[in-house]
Structure 1
């Protein structure tokens, strides 16, 4: 009996020891699985950060628009943003036909290799049948006061060229001073030094210049150097240009600054007498944007000069202005807070006055066309059901010194993401 009890006790102790060993082994396996599971969770979270499309915040980098700045505030990896515009125009007392247009759809595709090396690009689809690169560059970021941008980039002149997303201007179309004198949207290949400080930004760079006879169009009487943009595509680079900009942003809601551009546009061409065409283009502007308690003012003055305007006019068979100018003031006020305390929406009413002349002075022996000396009053309103969506309506009272300038009624829709 004692032997039997001893054997039973021995068996029980052995079983307990084995069970204890199994439990410890099981605990170790569970701990190992938990560690592997956590690693998998972390890897999935990291992957989501890289491929997710974050919601757009209204933040700016180095004076650029919200959507264009998105990649700088996104996690490491891919960033996708963009904007779009659809418009309608109804010309008054004119032979021009009314029309509607899917004007622009613009994807921004960026990639943050590291916090200091960032790729940014803007691809433009216009009128449903055109596509082109608006910018494509890599930033090398050192600090808030010194950074380097290399590639195809926006020329930092005026207000609209850097801020051309539709929520940044009240009218359906961009101010004409910043399309006919400053040729927005304007991009070229080059290298730029720039800052992103809290109280100021600057740009200083060198890019390929205009070509006065670009793509068989070139400079013109009514839009000056606009069609001389090469956009960095198979661009002649015999002549380069220099660009500089400084903005003060030290007061909340304020951006005030100056910018300048100078470069030749002849690109090695000669006139009929064998003389080199320099065609030096100079532009200088002062600009301002200020927002305060629903009130916004935007203003700009630009002056432009073109040397060898006589040679270029002769070569193109057009009268090209040797001096041009333009200015505008835009006032807007959000009346929605007066109507209701609901601040989710905004309803800015606005008025803008523009004056510009693409032939202020012309070369000796050429005659200016008075219809290029224009005055435009634009009045209208916007409705923003969301900060990143804008509906627009405006009416333009248009006049020129030659007469016969039709007014136009416009509707538009725009968005950023």
Structure 2
């Protein structure tokens, strides 16, 4: 029944919206005169094809996977990972609406990832309200698969920062220009925040992604909104440097107006950087999380988590190939590290474990800038909660494209 409803919705959506073929060339200088994040939800190809006040677009991602863990192979399989639909409306020069509907693994998961309204007052100050992408780390607000040359998302941006983190809230965003060549952007929102699933919700220890809940789109679980924000600079030499945070109470400390538990706070802080110089692209992100965990759960449930990733790509071929005039070929490598329970055991002094190191290398062929055909090889070193080491590899081949 759910699939039939989704099908009807999509038919109605596509039949009532006129898709136009006119395309505008938007230069970087034009983009820099807006308060929006480069690579974010307003920097997508379909918007630049807008003819009228409505545009529709999206992206699709399909992959194949081969995995082996400690010599045991899981074989080859194929995966329809994502099919996302964007809908954008320029209601007026000052009011914009954008939304994103995500389908994962066919219709196994259907999520309204974004549905927000922007009211634009001035480049320096604007209002945003609705289901928004919390600006914790750059990846969470600029995570579209076709933008990246490695198939799997960074560990720190999915296991510590629970990308994609969509929350209901309201706040302000804008851009300032301290000089004609430098831009500073900011986002600051009050949101419903994460829920009590952070501790014990997954059955595997402290897991921040388990704190996401469908109920949070209706109401805050404790009536105490979280605060999240990001400050970023686009300096004159290019690239972007960002600092961000997300903090709030996650547990159900109230019931029917009565206090039933202590307020337990979860605070995330992140640093991100991205820089392009000719044929080289560097991007990275680091995050640390502090979780107020009941004393009785110490060591079993981590009260501190940390991680990072660093990625370098080199485009060594940039010329027409196979009758494709815009084709490029890029070699990319990435290092990932996460520790989901930072510390040592009081009884033995040994590291608690619950950490992962990953090294990935890959090739990305782009017949156009909006399409990436990717081959990735990843080697993982996983220490479980008892610090036992498991090694695994993953070979992936796939395609991701905007439409």
TM-score (norm 1): 0.78
Aligned residue for 1:319? Answer: 300
State whether structure 2 residue 395 is matched by structure 1 residue 415: no
Aligned residue for 1:376? Answer: 358
Counterpart-to-counterpart distance in 1, 2:243 and 2:345: 28
CA contact (8 A) 2:205 2:300 kept: no
**Residues 150-169 of structure 1 deviation map (CA, whole Å, 9 limit, x = unaligned):** 00100011121111111332
Aligned residue for 2:195? Answer: 211
Question: Do the aligned partners of residues 261 and 66 (structure 1) sit closer, same or farther apart at CA in structure 2, a change above 3 Å counting?
Answer: closer
CA contact (8 A) 1:53 1:80 kept: no
State the 1:88 CA deviation: 1.6
Counterpart-to-counterpart distance in 2, 1:186 and 1:220: 20
Counterparts of 1:29-108 in structure 2, within 5 Å, are: 52=20, 54-55=22-23, 62-63=36-37, 65=39, 68-70=42-44, 73=48, 74-92=50-68, 93-94=71-72, 96=74, 98-108=76-86
Counterpart-to-counterpart distance in 1, 2:61 and 2:401: 7
CA contact (8 A) 2:41 2:142 kept: no
Question: Do the aligned partners of residues 291 and 220 (structure 1) sit closer, same or farther apart at CA in structure 2, a change above 3 Å counting?
Answer: farther
Say which of 74, 80, 93 aligns to 1:115.
93
Aligned residue for 2:11? Answer: none
Counterpart-to-counterpart distance in 2, 1:363 and 1:229: 29
Say which of 117, 121, 128 aligns to 1:138.
117
Aligned residue for 1:18? Answer: none
Question: Do the aligned partners of residues 190 and 412 (structure 1) sit closer, same or farther apart at CA in structure 2, a change above 3 Å counting?
Answer: same
CA contact (8 A) 1:288 1:300 kept: yes
State the 1:51 CA deviation: 5.3
State whether structure 2 residue 275 is matched by structure 1 residue 290: yes
Gaps of 5+ in 2: 1-16, 178-182
Say which of 218, 241, 260 aligns to 1:234.
218
State whether structure 2 residue 384 is matched by structure 1 residue 405: no
State the 1:347 CA deviation: 0.8
State the 1:212 CA deviation: 1.7
State the 1:250 CA deviation: 2.9
Counterparts of 1:241-320 in structure 2, within 5 Å, are: 241-251=226-236, 253-268=238-253, 275-310=260-295, 313=297, 319-320=300-301
Aligned to 1:288, the other structure's residue is in SS state strand
Aligned to 1:185, the other structure's residue is in SS state coil
* Aligned length in residues: 361
CA contact (8 A) 2:83 2:103 kept: yes
Counterpart-to-counterpart distance in 1, 2:243 and 2:197: 29
Question: Do the aligned partners of residues 185 and 367 (structure 1) sit closer, same or farther apart at CA in structure 2, a change above 3 Å counting?
Answer: farther
Question: Do the aligned partners of residues 415 and 299 (structure 1) sit closer, same or farther apart at CA in structure 2, a change above 3 Å counting?
Answer: same
CA contact (8 A) 2:155 2:337 kept: no
Question: Do the aligned partners of residues 236 and 220 (structure 1) sit closer, same or farther apart at CA in structure 2, a change above 3 Å counting?
Answer: farther
Aligned to 1:63, the other structure's residue is in SS state coil
Aligned residue for 1:346? Answer: 328
Aligned residue for 2:5? Answer: none
Query: Quick check: which one's helix share is greater?
Result: 1
Aligned residue for 2:8? Answer: none
Query: Quick check: which one's strand share is greater?
Result: 2
State whether structure 2 residue 154 is matched by structure 1 residue 148: no
State the 1:236 CA deviation: 2.9
Counterpart-to-counterpart distance in 2, 1:284 and 1:377: 24
TM-score (norm 2): 0.80
Gaps of 5+ in 1: 1-48
